[in-house]
Amino acid sequence: MFLFYNKDSNTKLHWLKLMKNFNIPPVWTFISMIFAVMLHFIYPVVFFQFLAIDTGIIGIGLYLIIASPIWFKRKNTTIIPRRKPTTLIVDGPFKMSRNPMYLGMILLSFGFGLSLGSFQAIIPSVWLFFFLKNNYVLPEERKLMEAMGEEAERYFSKTGRWIWFL
């Protein structure tokens, strides 16, 4: 805490502002991957090796993480969680998932856990799924309903939260 001390500002306020900048889904994804490595090496029980499957899952996850922001840019709406959306995106990866970027982060974490080859390395991706759903997905869907109303309701009824049928 002394590291962030600044004579001109309140230390606690500065710390909170700094932490707010780190409260974004990519940081939580990275943290889940760090925990996967820790769990794998703390309890090194290797159950499986699926190199083709894990590589494919990681590839799909990376594609969704990279492709989704392009659509935010095209539609001139915010990509930053907790900000009010200005446009409802229903094209590209958003045709099959209401949350393709979050799905990509979960797939990346899950594929990473699979690549380590132990059951316990997958556990952080399950935690990430529930964490992102409760802290980002559900609040963002409420904001979309408030901002877009009936248009968002139609989109929600046609498109699954994670993939087209879920």
Interior/surface letters 20-39, b for 16+ CB within 10 angstroms, e for the rest: eeeeebeebbebbbebbeeb
List pLDDT tens digits, range 78-129. Answer: 887 778 888 888 888 998 999 999 999 999 999 999 888 888 888 999 999 9
* 4-8, 46-50, 149-153, range with the lowest pLDDT: 4-8
Average the pLDDT over 160-164 and give the result. 84
Residue type, 109: S
Contact 83, 20 (CB under 8 A): no
Residue type, 84: K
pLDDT at residue 9, as a whole number: 53
Would you state the pLDDT for residue 4?
Answer: 47
Q: Answer whether residue 33 shows pLDDT above 90.
A: yes
Name, in order, each residue with C-beta under 8 angstroms of 87's C-beta and a sequence gap of 6 or more.
Answer: 75, 76, 77
Is 135 strand, coil or helix? helix
137: nearest Cα among 96, 99, 166: 99
What are the boundaries of each domain within the chain?
25-158
Percent of the chain with pLDDT over 70: 84
* Residue 155 pLDDT exceeds 70: yes
Q: How confident is the model at residue 18 (pLDDT cuts 50, 70, 90)?
A: low
